[in-house]
Amino acid sequence: MEESYRCWLQYRFVQDTQRFYQYRKWVSNIVVARETEIINSAARELQDALKSMLNLKPSIWRHPFHQQPFLFLGSYEDINPENHGISASLLNRLDDEGYLLKTVNNQILVIGKTDRGTLYATFHLLRLLQCEQPIDSLEITDSPKNQLRMINQWDNMDGSIERGYSGNSIFFRDNDFVDDLTRVKNYARFLASVGINAISINNVNVWNLETRLITKEFLPKVKEVAEIFKSYAITVFLSINFASPIELGGLSTADPLDRDVQKWWENKAKEIYQYIPDFGGFVVKADSEGRPGPFTYHRSHAEGANVLARALKPYNGKVIWRCFVYNYLQDWRDRSTDRAKAAYDHFGPLDGQFLDNVILQIKNGPMDFQVREPVSPLLGAMKKTNQMIEFQITQEYTGQQIDVCYLVPQWKEVFDFDTYAQGESSTVKSIVNGSLYNCKYSGVAGVSNIGDDVNWTGHALAQANLYGFGRLIWNPDLSTEQITKEWIYLTFGIHQQVVEPIKWILLHSWETYENYTAPLGVGWMVNPNHHYGPNVDGYEYSKWGTYHFADRDGIGVDRTVETGTGYTAQYFSPCSEIYNSLECCPDELLLFFHHVPYSHQLKSGKTVIQHIYDTHFEGVETVKLFIKLWDSLEGKIDNGIFQNVKERLKRQLENAIEWRDQINTYFYRKSGVPDEKNRMIYR
């Protein structure tokens, strides 16, 4: 099996002699206190990892013994806490997915509040071993900060993946499920190792064939997949077509207030749960980009979501209702229909109208996963409604896994953003973990970046985004530095001459991509439809002009209250005043909120036009440095990974140069202002 296929579960042989024998002492014997599907998965993972790292086949026991050290695998119910120096209050503070790692007497306790916690504790222990950390005095407790930690697959049943940059689907092929589910099992392992506990396996754009996933034709196969994920503590959801009562049931309507429609969904939910008793529920994209929804029947999103929620409620199922709703045929010259305002305008007035098993899934920004945009004002705006945030791990607008763009710093910035929804310290992370408004359900979802490429993500370094997403949503207080080093250690080993160049590339990649693409938050200057490469006037949903409103005098979108779309008023104070003020608005978002002259002076002291020139040249030079740093790793890492990234960096440099030349030429011709450093390359 290639190294790139194993992602961060490399389980390299332990080279340090002292660590090698210390580890063997503790893990040669494993006591498995109870057998469940999930604990059996944990035990198998341990056995496979120890064979690889220590050339050891541990003995498995069912009861503790006292002759020699052992590793104890079980739940807190399997021990007497007092005998192990564990306070009852400590265990009570853990949630159902929490765990304890503790070295006591002659054993290492790997115990969870439930078997799910035991699985997460196992992967934590294996992280320590892979990073060659001491384990002879462990005392670690941990619980996830977010309740729902979810992956959204955008896989289609023909085998393609919408916004997929890593090959074809690992679930579907030729309008059916794949026969060999080995990759699905390995994917479940990878996701469980970073704490993911839910997945929707099909595209949110549900077309004719995908609609049938909730029928008897395909439910037995959905069950097979669900059983694999269940053994790794991951719950399966399905994206559904709101018009299913018409498409599948032969009804003349999908009106959520129609009694026949309500009955159809009730029967459908009953049928699904007969196949999959722990089915998670539905993910729904409705009334957006041509998908059917309640608007067809003059019903609200709350009425549309609630008909599904009532059907699922007897089985503890959930409806995850996406808030990506806007009029994509709008006239962009009409400032009253600002796309950025759409989610707030549609959903804000519905607060308190959704049933308690509905969760609104809100994109991190108001537009569409741009390299830089503000936090969505809908986050925190609905105090009586469950809500979760949606990130895009797949790099649709951030280089498509051709260009390296490590997104953990971006996500970290979003989590830490203070909305002031309930005054100071109303951070996004406190909203999506449910604590700010005491939500019944909440969490984080990410659009997957994997496919059937050998290395899963097309670009080997893009694995860091999947790993980092899982670790960050488990605990948004983890530092970017810690997550980054963890991934490098697990994937490449702990030698600093390898670690430091990769870390530098990753930690500078988001800023670099932003530098040679979108200046100052304006975004969207990409080729329509496929979204890779520069096209300054290419905003695909605007038939009537450019998104950035550049003319001979200036650039940017006026979203102020006084003269623009009024979007800034959707934020809580003082954010609304900061964004509305030309003087106070952060430079990195200036053109998202304001139309300014090219001569406008930024807080850096540069003019807008000079900033555009400089950053695009800087972006290219940094990519050249990435290549130099990566070339220094030849012979020090797996050659397959080395060649994969080398090839991608070559393509990234070509892309960066094209962006630099087209953007700078465009704005020179538009503004008539030359680069003060006289570096222009006209195209």
Tens-place pLDDT, residues 340-387: 999 999 999 999 999 999 999 999 999 999 999 999 999 999 999 999
Which range has the worst mean pLDDT, 219-228, 250-259, 423-432, 672-681?
672-681
* Cα–Cα dist 58/31, whole Å: 10
Take residue 171 and report the two structure tokens written for it.
Answer: 């679930």
Take residue 125 and report the two structure tokens written for it.
Answer: 């222990």
| Sole residue written with tokens 């939500």 | 439
Residue 606 CB burial class (10 angstroms; 0-12, 13-18, ≥19):
middle
Per the annotation, the verdict on 368 as an active-site residue is yes
The one catalytic residue in 396, 511, 558, 675 is 396
Averaged pLDDT, 207-223: 95
**Higher pLDDT, residue 611 or 86:** 611
Neighbours of 105 (CB within 10 A): 10
Asked if 672 and 552 count as a contact pair (C-beta separation under 8 A), the reply is yes
Q: Is 447 helix (H, G, I), strand (E, B) or coil?
A: strand
The set of residues, in sequence order, having a beta carbon less than 8 Å from that of 404 and lying 6+ positions away, is 459, 461, 462, 505, 506, 509, 513, 626, 645, 648, 649, 652
| pTM score | 0.97
pLDDT score at 499: 98
* Cα–Cα dist 111/117, whole Å: 7
Helix (H) or strand (E) holding 591: helix 590-593
Q: For residue 90, what pLDDT band results from cuts at 50, 70 and 90?
A: confident
In the chain, what percentage of residues exceed pLDDT 70?
Answer: 97
Q: Say which amino acid occupies 306.
A: N
Q: Nearest CA to 211 among 305, 92, 294, 292?
A: 292
Residue 568 DSSP code: G
For each of the domains in the chain, give its residue range(s) and CATH number, in order of start: 3-142 (3.30.379.10), 148-478 (3.20.20.80), 493-557+595-682 (3.90.1330.10)
pLDDT score at 322: 98
Q: Is 455 helix (H, G, I), strand (E, B) or coil?
A: coil
CA-angle at 281, arms to 185 and 7, nearest 5°: 25
Q: How far apart are the first and last CA of the chain?
A: 46
Take residue 364 and report the two structure tokens written for it.
Answer: 């991190």
Asked if 94 and 64 count as a contact pair (C-beta separation under 8 A), the reply is no
Take residue 321 and report the two structure tokens written for it.
Answer: 């209702």
In the chain, what percentage of residues exceed pLDDT 90?
Answer: 89
pLDDT score at 393: 98
* Cα–Cα dist 327/341, whole Å: 11
Q: Is 74 helix (H, G, I), strand (E, B) or coil?
A: strand
Which range has the worst mean pLDDT, 347-356, 359-368, 438-447, 671-680?
671-680
Take residue 217 and report the two structure tokens written for it.
Answer: 């034709």
pLDDT of 331 > 60? The answer is: no
Q: Say which amino acid occupies 604.
A: S
* Cα–Cα dist 498/130, whole Å: 16
| Sole residue written with tokens 């509305």 | 580
pLDDT, tens digit (0-9, with 9 covering 90-100), for 280-293: 999 999 998 888 99
Per the annotation, the verdict on 258 as an active-site residue is no
The one catalytic residue in 16, 289, 553, 647 is 289
Q: For residue 88, what pLDDT band results from cuts at 50, 70 and 90?
A: confident
CA distances from 305 to 240, 284, 327, 347, 647 (A): 12, 8, 20, 12, 46
pLDDT, tens digit (0-9, with 9 covering 90-100), for 396-413: 999 999 999 999 999 999
Total residue length of the chain: 683
Helix (H) or strand (E) holding 260: helix 259-275
Residue 367 DSSP code: S
